[in-house]
Structure 1
Amino acid sequence: MASLRVSVVLALAVTLFTSPVYADDPVVEIKSGKLGGKSVEFSHSDIDVQRTVHVFKGIPYAEPPVGDLRFQPPKPKVPWEGVHNAANFGSACMQSIEPLVPVQEPLSEDCLFLNVYAPQVDDSASLPVMVWIHGGAFIIGSGGFRYDGTALAATGDVIVVSINYRLGPFGFLATGDEHTAGNYGFYDQIAALRWVQDNIAAFGGDATKVTIFGESAGAISSEYLFLSPLTDGLFRRVILQSGSASLPGFVSTDTATQNKIAHGLGKLLGCDEDSSDELVKCLRTVPAEDFIEPSDMSSGLLANVTGLDFEIESSPFPPVVDGKFVTEAPATLIRERNFNKKDIDFMIGTLSDEGMTYCMFFMADKLNQTEVTMDRDTYEALYPAVLTKRFKNNPAVLDAIKLLYVNWEDADVEDADYVEAFSHMQGDQFFVCRADQSARAYSLAGANVYLYQITHAPAKSIWPCTWLKAAHMEEIPFVFGWHFVQEMEWTMPKEDVDLAVEIMKYWTNFAKTGNPNSPSSNDDDSQTSWPLFKVPGLEYKDLSLKMETKRALKAKECAFWNDFIPKLMKHTDSDSICSAVDDDLHLQKYKEEANVDPSQ
């Protein structure tokens, strides 16, 4: 079907519906059957846009992954009769309740739903499509309420799709063998993208102009999808917001550890079986809600039963190198530019204070303060604890990190503040320099790459405190225009509203053309023009009130993390073959001589 076809729903047909759909609401027919959505009249006093957006929520894109379908790739949705009511969000996937990042939807293992926000169009329209993949460390989150795409669709003239995918053990449990290969959350994402290819034309969308975008674990997912050989033809562009597939803790190649974790979970759930086959059969009979506490890192149960030390930035159920969805560790694929998609456009970026989110978790007792400080003793105790395993046990690396990030001009001052040192160390290690690594690799491979950093501290934080500045996740209200979405009840001052409008333009322009600049923008105007990131050159956009073009973002720090630290470890950590994982000269020796996870 070429575009959205709105039909008048006859009263006598109401008995066929899952629940009532009313006469002024849109009905669209996709391959699985008919959907009844809602018409939303979008307008706001702070923006000159008036648009009808057709909203379809809770669309099942696969069969419920329950019973024998637990720990299996998703199965195509069986067609339904009548009109499926798509007025409300479907259930979020099973997860622990996180007060700082709550989900509004009920939890269920039956959670493979997506949502479509489509501007009303005529039959000839064919709009670009933006598919949002939510974050949450692969253990929490949903594609629902928080990511309402109405404002982005209405102001940018694009179709926005947001998706759920399985989390925690339901999405990523692996036994290290053929019985449970893992990565089911990624296979859910692929199924959702195939649904878009098969059905988006019915909503007025162009299946050849699909952009995948996500934040944190959503960005990690997006880069994994790019690196996977299973996703050819499913998207044309990628936006990575504060996340990279090379992030330590979010990949496992150690099948022995995967098996140990799976059997440890089994012990906690009454499935103390010897073989993987019997373990998986038993785990499929356990009620879904029973998985939550044992698989929650904060409970410590899985660490105790396995004797493993799970890192702060990782999950006990990470993505795995399974030889099918992904063939090698992402860091290796990126570094060696070993990817078969050569015509993908990229927008890659971070925020200037990513690491402040870690400060918030470690200083939860100070959330109500207007500002915070960190003394030297606290810094000395904390900073090694939040480094990856391969760093924290190497004294030379610890000293080098401290040398770079401590403000030595004030190091002898008794009340010197170390918050900035802690925050930037974390932000650079996990986000900024991973983005730099990806941007360089894709640009050198010939892709169009646009790099950004958001330095503007929002007047209202997404987190329950006021001192985080431009921290992790703070771009979400700007990208989705929360100020313009009535249900969000999110008010911004004028300068933040103006920035949100510009960011939404950049994102939707990129989805349309692969270039965030408006077609009519003046290339000489640094306020609007966003240059390509190239090596050399290294230009990027500072997304702030001034919208300046800058160059060489954190060049010294990223040379430190991406080049110097691997070499330092090679020469100082002779007892650990892991130190060679990021060094090209030692990569083959590592693979041949050690059965360890190269992310550790």
Structure 2
Amino acid sequence: MPHETITVDTAHGRVSGIAEAEFARFQGIPYAAPPTGPNRFGAPVPPRPWSGVLPAHGFGPPAPRPVGGSFDEILSGLDPVPGDGWLNLNVWTPDVTGSSPVLVWIHGGAFLRGSSAGTMYDGAAFAEAGVVLVSFNYRLGVEGFGYVADAPVPANRGLLDQIAALEWVRDNIAGFGGDPDNVTVFGESAGAMSILTLLSLDLGLFHRAIAQSGSAHVVQTAADAALVTGEIALALGVPPTAEGLSGVDTADLVAAQTLVHNLVVGTADAGKYGESTIQTCGMSLVPVVDGDLVRVRPIDAIAAGAGQDVPLVIGTTTEEHRYFVLSQSWEGLPVGAWVQRLAAYGVPDPARFYDQYAEGTTARYPRDTPAEVFSAVMTDRLFRIPSLRVAEARKGHAPTYVYDFGWRTPVPSVGGGALGACHVVELPFVWHTLGASGVDELVADGPVPLADEVNGRWVEFAATGSLESWDEYGDERPVMVFHAERSAVVPDPRGAERALWDGALDPE
């Protein structure tokens, strides 16, 4: 049976979407031209205007990225659409004639993976709650974040895509029933890191922000970024130039960047990457301090006052790093090897940190194995402490709310034990998509009331910029701890472990 359609005018042409019972959805709208040919390593350019009505009835093509692996369906989607028009976006709206708050999603995936078509990124619940939801794709990997010195834009092309999408929202969202003066960006992992980077640039393109499991410390120097690009080019047998890389098929480029990424994140000794920012951030391709778009580390800009007019929600899951450690089998690895890995990731006095975190095991959050202790330290090293540094930098100057998502999924990991309150586990609660295809592989029997609460909090913040009964971050360090039994604001949870990091990871 054919769906009823609804049409909206945009700056580049008319689009039609699908009218559902309580909302309408538009998918696959181009916000920039295909980044191919002369545009491949350049800034995004506007799409060519079209005549007639463009059907926006399904997701558009995703940016080239590896497929398969853990939770690929919920994070990247099923059966990706072929084509090179990767710079596209989607809109769910409760009423095209209204003026509703706008939430704009930036997906994660280590700047290498993911897309807006992940099955749990369905905007229906947000639209049904009265919010216009926008999600979009942006360039990934070398094409988005590789440093190519002689390219039209040497670095940060993926960030420029994100900026172009936000400019599209500013210029077009009123036609979809959204309020362009009430835009909240939210994202997870690399999406949250992108948001904190954008926050540090003071672009004026959004009015509120939510950073889930991000860091404002994760950038590369141009030298380190060039090193990664050089390794990828070497694997491909081409020079690390715009011309050399432009002649490479996208599938081959994805394969090579995946190979180098695995080498970088798997290197625990000094080696080629041991003294660089690459190894300590645990990712291979990230935003670059290029002296142009990004002039300093985001945390330094935020500490200097950038983004103070933007209310912020920031937080992590309680056991982020279990996703990365317990997805592999580390049986038999001695404690000393784990301590060495902590040192490689820039943990100060790693033996002392290991011992003190080992003492922090509880019935709810066990740390009974070396892998679990390592995971607890790395959760704080890569996620919780950097997030708190952002909150500390804004304390007393800008409204900031901190959360800790503590619900533990019982889904077992490859390495043994439950994945617990791991990286990405909060996503189906934020989106209220517990029943989406594939979500049960991450969240088995997730409590619906917790999804009601978390999704409702995100909607509340998008609508008002504040949160009832949730204290702003201040001297008592209040944190909203989300649990199925009873969520509550807790002063300085795991404060003794937080204090271990005093003097480390601070703005320089």
TM-score (norm 1): 0.75
Equivalent position of 1:118 in the other structure: 93
Distance in 2 (CA, whole Å) between partners of 1:495 and 1:409 is 24
Equivalent position of 2:309 in the other structure: 343
Could you tell me whether the CA contact under 8 Å between 1:94 and 1:108 is conserved in 2?
A: no
CA spacing shift, 1:399–1:458, aligned 2, 3 Å:
closer
Deviates more, 1:279-288 or 1:460-469: 460-469
Post-superposition offset of 1:385: 2.1
Question: Does residue 329 of the first structure (1) align with residue 297 of the second (2)?
Answer: yes
Equivalent position of 1:512 in the other structure: 463
Question: Does residue 543 of the first structure (1) align with residue 495 of the second (2)?
Answer: no
Distance in 1 (CA, whole Å) between partners of 2:182 and 2:476 is 29
Distance in 2 (CA, whole Å) between partners of 1:186 and 1:152 is 27
CA spacing shift, 1:456–1:23, aligned 2, 3 Å:
closer
User: Deviations along 1:60-95, whole A, 9 cap, x unmatched?
Assistant: 110000011011110011111111111110111111
Could you tell me whether the CA contact under 8 Å between 1:461 and 1:474 is conserved in 2?
A: no
Could you tell me whether the CA contact under 8 Å between 1:156 and 1:509 is conserved in 2?
A: no
Question: Does residue 356 of the first structure (1) align with residue 356 of the second (2)?
Answer: no
Equivalent position of 1:215 in the other structure: 188
Corresponding letter in the other structure for 1:556: A
Distance in 2 (CA, whole Å) between partners of 1:210 and 1:409 is 41
Equivalent position of 2:18 in the other structure: 38
Give SS of 1:296's match: helix
Equivalent position of 1:14 in the other structure: none
Equivalent position of 1:225 in the other structure: 198
CA spacing shift, 1:562–1:75, aligned 2, 3 Å:
farther
Distance in 1 (CA, whole Å) between partners of 2:142 and 2:194 is 16
Post-superposition offset of 1:552: 0.8
Post-superposition offset of 1:152: 2.7
Could you tell me whether the CA contact under 8 Å between 1:111 and 1:166 is conserved in 2?
A: yes
Post-superposition offset of 1:465: 8.2
Post-superposition offset of 1:177: 6.3
Matches within 5 A, 1:330-409: 330-334=298-302, 337-363=303-329, 377-385=333-341, 388-391=344-347, 397-407=349-359
Post-superposition offset of 1:208: 0.7
Corresponding letter in the other structure for 1:515: S
Question: Does residue 192 of the first structure (1) align with residue 172 of the second (2)?
Answer: no
Could you tell me whether the CA contact under 8 Å between 1:173 and 1:180 is conserved in 2?
A: no
Corresponding letter in the other structure for 1:68: P
Could you tell me whether the CA contact under 8 Å between 2:173 and 2:179 is conserved in 1?
A: yes
CA spacing shift, 1:552–1:268, aligned 2, 3 Å:
same
Equivalent position of 1:320 in the other structure: 288
Distance in 1 (CA, whole Å) between partners of 2:126 and 2:486 is 25
Corresponding letter in the other structure for 2:358: V
Of the candidates 231, 235, 246, which is equivalent to residue 284 of structure 1? 246
Structure having the higher Rg: 1
Structure 1, unpaired ranges of 5+: 1-20, 42-51, 365-373, 518-528, 567-581, 585-600
Matches within 5 A, 1:146-545: 146-176=119-149, 180-229=153-202, 231-232=203-204, 234-246=205-217, 250-253=218-221, 255-272=222-239, 279-297=241-259, 307-308=272-273, 311=279, 314-334=282-302, 337-363=303-329, 377-385=333-341, 388-391=344-347, 397-407=349-359, 417-444=369-396, 446-458=397-409, 467-483=418-434, 496-517=447-468, 529-534=469-474, 536-544=475-483, 545=485
Could you tell me whether the CA contact under 8 Å between 1:115 and 1:144 is conserved in 2?
A: no
Matches within 5 A, 1:97-108: 97-102=67-72, 103=76, 104=78, 105-106=80-81
Question: Does residue 57 of the first structure (1) align with residue 30 of the second (2)?
Answer: no
Equivalent position of 2:107 in the other structure: 134
Distance in 1 (CA, whole Å) between partners of 2:373 and 2:446 is 29
Structure 2, unpaired ranges of 5+: none
Could you tell me whether the CA contact under 8 Å between 1:196 and 1:207 is conserved in 2?
A: yes
Post-superposition offset of 1:461: 8.1
Equivalent position of 2:63 in the other structure: 93
Distance in 1 (CA, whole Å) between partners of 2:290 and 2:159 is 12
CA spacing shift, 1:501–1:464, aligned 2, 3 Å:
farther
Of the candidates 28, 44, 52, which is equivalent to residue 74 of structure 1? 44
Could you tell me whether the CA contact under 8 Å between 1:539 and 1:549 is conserved in 2?
A: yes
Identity rate, percent: 30
Matches within 5 A, 1:575-594: 582=506, 584=508
Paired residue total: 490
User: Deviations along 1:395-449, whole A, 9 cap, x unmatched?
Assistant: x722222232223999xxxx963344222111111111111111111123x1111
Corresponding letter in the other structure for 1:34: R
Could you tell me whether the CA contact under 8 Å between 1:137 and 1:314 is conserved in 2?
A: no
Could you tell me whether the CA contact under 8 Å between 1:55 and 1:116 is conserved in 2?
A: yes
Could you tell me whether the CA contact under 8 Å between 2:43 and 2:153 is conserved in 1?
A: no
CA spacing shift, 1:71–1:408, aligned 2, 3 Å:
closer
Give SS of 2:434's match: helix
User: Deviations along 1:472-492, whole A, 9 cap, x unmatched?
Assistant: 10001101111365x667598
CA spacing shift, 1:54–1:386, aligned 2, 3 Å:
farther
Distance in 2 (CA, whole Å) between partners of 1:353 and 1:256 is 32
User: Deviations along 1:117-147, whole A, 9 cap, x unmatched?
Assistant: 11135x3x21000000011110000011334
User: Deviations along 1:360-381, whole A, 9 cap, x unmatched?
Assistant: 23328xxxxxxxxx77x53432
Distance in 2 (CA, whole Å) between partners of 1:456 and 1:384 is 30
Distance in 1 (CA, whole Å) between partners of 2:488 and 2:88 is 39
Distance in 2 (CA, whole Å) between partners of 1:172 and 1:107 is 22
Post-superposition offset of 1:26: 1.1
Corresponding letter in the other structure for 1:551: P
Give SS of 2:395's match: helix
Post-superposition offset of 1:505: 0.7
CA spacing shift, 1:583–1:399, aligned 2, 3 Å:
farther
Corresponding letter in the other structure for 2:20: V
Equivalent position of 1:589 in the other structure: none
Deviates more, 1:260-269 or 1:181-190: 260-269
Could you tell me whether the CA contact under 8 Å between 1:91 and 1:108 is conserved in 2?
A: yes
Equivalent position of 1:7 in the other structure: none
Equivalent position of 2:500 in the other structure: 560
Distance in 2 (CA, whole Å) between partners of 1:409 and 1:173 is 40
Corresponding letter in the other structure for 1:479: V
Corresponding letter in the other structure for 2:286: P
Distance in 2 (CA, whole Å) between partners of 1:555 and 1:461 is 29
Corresponding letter in the other structure for 1:550: V
Distance in 1 (CA, whole Å) between partners of 2:261 and 2:438 is 32
Could you tell me whether the CA contact under 8 Å between 1:433 and 1:557 is conserved in 2?
A: no
Equivalent position of 1:26 in the other structure: 6
Could you tell me whether the CA contact under 8 Å between 1:64 and 1:111 is conserved in 2?
A: yes
